[in-house]
């Protein structure tokens, strides 16, 4: 094992038996143990998930019954307006919903929570390469929480120029109620998230490259790790661009530069002094990061799903290498397709054609992955556990999201559906139907490892079924709205004749959305109940192959109580070489028929 | 366990192809160019087939290889080179075909601005300027030149002649907006500091919504205009009448002061 780890650990090994306040803080608060940091990320992001979900209900309420008093919540939140959502408040709602969901939920739950927790365990390391940096990557999220959270309360009710924060709306304080201090705080929050991800990605890359257990070649890595690895690469290359752009916008707002503000601009009848900039420049810089970011939000999920599917189909992954190449292909192409967000932005239409071809091609690796997942369950012995159900849902929802992407990639069609609910449907299928489903699956799957106890299967299935039904009820219908041209981000779409007949269908979606949020109650209860009272899980409750399942549940400090040595890839389920239907990566090769239980399992 | 999922998925995909609601699809098209609609339906067919095929495969596998029923040993395979090549090459060809197939439509909508008989680009019939939260229209008047004394100004109302290629110049005064005409299949972001042209050929009389499709502030939702298509004759009459009214109101305004 590499020497970096040894240093990293010498300083925070447990020595004394007494457990003082200082010890508590260093173990559970400012911990440098990747597992604790992962769980800290998990709890924080789940909490923000709830916040984001409630903001979404606000949006949906307005679209279903505009200008009507919101029962119960309305008078509590905005009594001044008599419980109604004002258009100013509405712009804040969708801005902060998207911001919270992307920057405080999906990205940190995948990379921060699962990345931290799983990477060292799955590659057989005892911690991250840089434990202190790792701790910092969690703690700089707190200023981000503070800035985003605080921006709800400053004048103007939160940032309100969309999560894409397009200038000049976002740069000129006079242009929108939330474009004052709230927008500045939004930018600072974004910077903190960026720094956190940056620290994380350096750590992940180093750890994966340097600290794999003996025998763990790159081509024996579980796809979860490949997903995390490529995500970290994307972050390392794309994130600096966004951080720089965010900084330029901050300068535009505070010291009066004009990177994104054109000449002779006047907003609200007051002329804006500096100029000479280009609003489209922001869009290029923003999407240069944020398009790869949508893959940051899906690649680790794809990896986790692949692992779960194999485990419960009791079968090797179909096409490991093509899957790895597909992930790399997505990452590579991901850098040259940002312009598809700008087909109607005023960008040179000639460029539109180039971006369109590139975007079409990025659908290809996604297709390859889908077919390989199908190949994986083909001919297996499928166990319908809760994590498996969520993973299967991931596959079917990802198909919908991927296919709807083709409509947008077709530039002429995008002219019509851009900025309509079609887009909203698309990315919710990918992000909620896809990533969030994978995250739920992953929580049920790795929960026994994290807390040493299993979650209740029955309530898990109830949670799955309700979520799945209401998810489709909410988001599938959005395609239909999009086909009518129903624009996103309108506080009152029924102001337009063309969309007036869509109100009933919006009400249907709102009811589904409320029920979808309510469907999370069994999950929350199950989660906390099982954490303390669930049945105790052994090391390897699912009979899985990965290294993490050979460590104790939960793993102690330094993870493994033996030196893991890797003999094969992680997907040897149902191998004819052994009598069990699984073949852990650490189990030495045995003669056919004499598969002895490895010492690590006998310990249970 | 797979039964309830199967049920919901059937509902979901039934919704995709045979959704029974009327009017919940593209709004009426009133321009000549039907490329976007055609392409949309074409892709819908294509993706619909892929969607249903993968859905059926998925559920067939789930049903057939349910561990509770399946006593066969698992198929121990690490993949198939032949299959990988097939399912990379076939989608690649389809996607490339799609990409090339739509280029003309894109060029027609965005790159080939209509020309006059002499080959010059056709001048815009009006200039549309977005500002928080209204659409300002400016017609050049008799002399066909903008910003001269005979210009006509109206707010949120746009009239265009039927059966002619209409070119519009669009601009923004403050933040980004997006000029969206759902019935015309036209959408273009309006960027401050940039002058852009859009064109279409209306073929049906009537009045339709002008929508703002890019977030432009709290009043974004009410940035609504109305576009009226009418015969050349009616259009000229309207132009003249509105111009006279403008003169009149300017005159009376001056007198009142
Ligand atoms: C793989 C996971 C994917 C994720 C996480 C994802 C996510 C997103 C998100 C969040 C947006 C909306 C951005 C906004 O707010 O405007 C978006 C838009 C878009 N996506 Fe995807 N997407 C994925 C796959 C695809 C695929 C496979 C395609 C093409 C075949 C595609 C094509 C597009 C296009 C063209 C847009 C822009 C449409 C517009 O704004 O007019 N996406 N995607
Ligand atoms: Cu506008
Ligand atoms: Cu607008």
pLDDT, position A452? 93
Strand B196-200 versus strand B166-172 pairing type = antiparallel
Whether A359 lines ligand 1, by a CB cut-off of 6 Å, is yes
- pLDDT per residue over A550-584, tens digit each? 999 899 888 998 899 999 999 999 888 888 888 89
pLDDT, position A118? 96
Q: Report CA-CA distances (Å) from A519 to A104, A140, A336, A471, A523.
A: 21, 32, 39, 10, 8
Q: Is the pLDDT of residue B23 over 70?
A: no
Q: Which of A226-230, A350-354, B14-18, B230-234 has the lowest mean pLDDT?
A: B14-18
Distance CA(A48)–CA(B80), nearest Å, equals 43
Give the Cα-Cα-Cα angle A259, A264, A270 (nearest 5 degrees): 100
Give domain status of residue A4, yes or no.
no
For a pocket test of ligand 1, which of A100, A430, A434 has the largest count of ligand atoms closer than 8 A to its C-beta? A430
Residues with CB under 5 A from ligand 3 (ion): B 177, 212, 216, 220, 223
Signed CA dihedral, B118, B120, B122, B126: sign only = negative
Closest C-alpha to ligand 1, atom 29? A405
**B20 contacts on A by Cβ (under 8 Å):** none
Any idea what DSSP says for residue A442? H
As a whole number of Å, the end-to-end CA separation of chain B is 81
The answer to whether the beta carbons of residues A494 and A569 sit under 8 Å apart is: no
pLDDT, position B1? 46
* Cβ of residue B4 closer than 8 Å to a chain A Cβ: yes
Domain that holds residue A118: 35-263+273-588
The answer to whether the beta carbons of residues A39 and A121 sit under 8 Å apart is: no
For a pocket test of ligand 1, which of A300, A335, A408 has the largest count of ligand atoms closer than 8 A to its C-beta? A408
* Residues 6+ positions from A441 with CB-CB distance below 8 Å: A304, A305, A308, A386, A387, A388, A389, A390, A391, A393, A394
Give domain status of residue A541, yes or no.
yes
The answer to whether the beta carbons of residues A363 and A406 sit under 8 Å apart is: yes
CB count within 10 Å of CB B148 equals 11
Stretch A509-537: mean pLDDT: 93
pLDDT, position B230? 95
- CB within 8 Å: B209 and A395: no
- pLDDT per residue over A298-319, tens digit each? 999 999 999 999 999 999 999 9
Give domain status of residue A58, yes or no.
yes
Query: Which three-class secondary structure state does DSSP give residue B129?
Result: strand
Q: What is the CATH number of the domain that holds A251?
A: 1.20.210.10
Phi (first) and psi of residue B158, to 5 degrees: -135, 130
**B51 contacts on A by Cβ (under 8 Å):** 399-400, 403
Give domain status of residue A29, yes or no.
no
Give domain status of residue A21, yes or no.
no
Q: Which helix (H) or strand (E) holds B131?
A: strand B126-131
Q: Is the pLDDT of residue B24 over 80?
A: no
- CB within 8 Å: A357 and B99: yes
Q: What is the mean pLDDT of chain B?
A: 85
Instruction: For helices A223-254 and A181-210, give the axis angle rounded to 10 degrees.
Output: 150
Provide the token pair at A22: 């200082």
Provide the domain count of chain A: 1
Give domain status of residue A6, yes or no.
no
Nearest to A296 by CA among A197, A441, A402: A197
The answer to whether the beta carbons of residues B125 and B202 sit under 8 Å apart is: no
ipTM of the complex: 0.90
pLDDT bucket at A456, cuts 50 / 70 / 90: very high
The answer to whether the beta carbons of residues A411 and A356 sit under 8 Å apart is: yes
The answer to whether the beta carbons of residues A585 and A566 sit under 8 Å apart is: yes
Residues 183-202 of A with CB under 8 A from B: none
The answer to whether the beta carbons of residues A512 and A56 sit under 8 Å apart is: no
Residue with tokens 């939702």: B221
* Residues 6+ positions from A418 with CB-CB distance below 8 Å: A343, A344, A408, B187, B213
* Cβ of residue B218 closer than 8 Å to a chain A Cβ: yes
pLDDT bucket at A18, cuts 50 / 70 / 90: low
Distance CA(A6)–CA(B40), nearest Å, equals 59
Chain B residue with Cα closest to A409: B99
Nearest to B62 by CA among A394, A374, A323: A374
Closest CA of chain B from A524, distance in Å: 22
Any idea what DSSP says for residue A75? H
Decide: residue A535, CB within 10 A, 0-12 exposed, 13-18 middle, 19+ buried. Answer: exposed
* Residues 6+ positions from A397 with CB-CB distance below 8 Å: A429, A430, A433, A434, A437, A471
Ligand nearest to the CA of A489: 3
Stretch A92-101: mean pLDDT: 92
Distance CA(A395)–CA(A397), nearest Å, equals 6
- CB within 8 Å: A161 and B188: no
Give domain status of residue A191, yes or no.
yes
Stretch A110-126: mean pLDDT: 94
Q: Which helix (H) or strand (E) holds A99?
A: helix A87-99
Nearest to A557 by CA among A10, A1, A3: A10
Provide the token pair at B137: 């229209």
- pLDDT per residue over B175-198, tens digit each? 899 999 999 999 999 998 889 999
Stretch A574-598: mean pLDDT: 73
Residue with tokens 């309509």: A420
Q: Is the pLDDT of residue B16 over 60?
A: no
Give domain status of residue A488, yes or no.
yes
Q: Report CA-CA distances (Å) from B124 to A432, B79, B168, B181.
A: 44, 59, 5, 17
Residues with CB under 5 A from ligand 2 (ion): B 177, 212, 216, 223
């Amino acid at each position: 094992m590499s020497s970096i780890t040894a240093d990293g650990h010498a300083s925070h090994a447990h020595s004394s038996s007494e457990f003082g306040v200082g010890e508590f803080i260093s173990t559970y608060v400012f911990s440098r143990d990747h597992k604790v940091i992962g769980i800290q990320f998990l709890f924080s992001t789940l909490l923000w998930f709830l916040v984001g979900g409630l903001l979404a209900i606000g949006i949906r309420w307005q679209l279903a019954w505009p200008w009507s008093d919101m029962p119960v919540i309305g008078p509590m939140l905005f009594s001044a307006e008599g419980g109604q959502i004002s258009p100013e408040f509405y712009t804040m709602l969708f801005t902060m919903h998207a911001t919270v969901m992307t920057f405080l939920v999906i990205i940190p739950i995948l990379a921060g929570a699962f990345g931290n927790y799983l990477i060292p365990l799955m590659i057989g390391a005892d911690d991250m390469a840089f434990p202190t940096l790792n701790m910092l990557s969690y703690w700089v999220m707190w200023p981000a929480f503070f800035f985003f959270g605080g921006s709800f309360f400053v004048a103007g009710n939160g940032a309100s120029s969309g999560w894409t924060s397009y200038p000049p709306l976002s740069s000129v304080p006079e242009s929108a109620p939330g474009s004052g201090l709230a927008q500045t705080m939004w930018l600072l929050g974004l910077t903190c998230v960026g720094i956190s991800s940056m620290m994380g990605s350096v750590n992940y890359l180093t750890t994966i490259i340097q600290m794999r257990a003996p025998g763990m070649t790159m081509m024996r890595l579980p796809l979860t790790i490949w997903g995390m690895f490529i995500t970290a690469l994307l972050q390392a290359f794309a994130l600096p661009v966004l951080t720089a752009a965010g900084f330029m916008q901050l300068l535009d707002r505070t010291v009066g530069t004009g990177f994104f503000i054109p000449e002779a601009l006047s907003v609200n009848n007051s002329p804006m002094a500096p100029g000479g900039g280009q609003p489209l420049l922001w869009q290029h810089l923003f999407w240069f990061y944020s398009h790869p970011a949508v893959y940051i939000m899906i690649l680790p999920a794809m990896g986790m799903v692949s692992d779960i599917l194999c485990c419960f189909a009791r079968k090797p992954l179909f096409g490991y290498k093509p899957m790895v190449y597909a992930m790399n292909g997505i990452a590579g192409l991901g850098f040259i397709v940002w312009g598809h967000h700008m087909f109607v932005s005023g960008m040179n239409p000639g460029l539109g054609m180039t971006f369109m071809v590139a975007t079409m091609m990025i659908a290809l690796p996604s297709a390859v992955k889908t077919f390989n997942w199908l190949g994986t369950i083909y001919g297996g012995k499928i166990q319908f556990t809760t994590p498996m159900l969520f993973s299967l849902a991931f596959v079917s929802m990802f198909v919908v999201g991927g296919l709807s992407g083709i409509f947008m990639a077709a530039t002429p069609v995008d002219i019509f559906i851009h900025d309509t609910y079609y887009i909203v449907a698309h990315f919710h299928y990918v992000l909620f139907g896809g990533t969030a489903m994978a995250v739920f699956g992953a929580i049920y799957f790795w929960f026994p490892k994290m807390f040493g106890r299993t979650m209740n299967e029955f309530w898990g299935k109830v949670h799955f079924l309700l979520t799945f039904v209401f998810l489709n009820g909410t988001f599938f219908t959005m395609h239909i709205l999009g086909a009518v041209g129903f624009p996103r981000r309108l506080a009152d779409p029924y102001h337009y004749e063309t969309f007036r007949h869509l109100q009933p269908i919006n009400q249907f979606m709102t009811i589904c959305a409320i029920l979808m949020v309510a469907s999370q109650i069994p999950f929350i209860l199950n989660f906390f109940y099982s954490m303390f009272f669930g049945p105790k899980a052994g090391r390897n409750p699912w009979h899985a192959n990965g290294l993490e399942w050979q460590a104790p549940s939960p793993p102690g400090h330094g993870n493994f109580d033996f030196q893991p040595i890797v003999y094969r890839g992680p997907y040897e389920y149902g191998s004819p070489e052994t009598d069990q239907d699984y073949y852990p990566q650490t189990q030495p090769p045995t003669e056919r028929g004499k598969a002895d239980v490895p010492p690590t399992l006998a310990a249970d | 366990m797979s039964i309830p999922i199967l049920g919901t998925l059937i509902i979901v995909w039934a919704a995709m192809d045979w959704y029974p609601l009327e009017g919940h699809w593209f709004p009426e098209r009133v321009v000549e160019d039907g490329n976007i609609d055609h392409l949309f339906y074409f892709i819908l067919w294509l993706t619909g087939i892929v969607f249903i095929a993968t859905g059926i495969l998925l559920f067939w596998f789930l049903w057939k290889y349910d561990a509770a029923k399946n006593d066969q040993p698992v198929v121990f395979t690490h993949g198939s080179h032949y299959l990988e090549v097939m399912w990379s090459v076939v989608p690649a060809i389809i996607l490339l075909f799609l990409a090339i197939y739509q280029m003309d439509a894109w060029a027609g909508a965005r790159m080939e601005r209509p020309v006059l008989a002499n080959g010059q680009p056709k001048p815009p019939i009006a200039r549309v300027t977005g500002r928080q939260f209204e659409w300002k229209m400016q017609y050049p008047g008799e002399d066909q030149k903008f910003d001269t004394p005979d210009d006509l100004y109206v707010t949120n109302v746009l009239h265009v002649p039927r059966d002619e290629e209409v070119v519009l110049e669009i601009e923004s005064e403050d933040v980004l907006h997006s000029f969206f005409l759902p019935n015309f299949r036209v959408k273009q972001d309006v960027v401050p500091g940039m002058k852009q042209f859009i064109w279409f050929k209306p073929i049906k009389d009537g009045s339709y919504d002008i929508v703002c499709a890019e977030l432009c502030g709290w009043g974004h939702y009410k940035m609504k205009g109305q576009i009226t298509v009418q015969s050349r004759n009616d259009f000229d009459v309207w132009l003249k009448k509105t111009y006279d009214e403008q003169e009149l109101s300017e005159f009376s305004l001056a007198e009142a002061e």
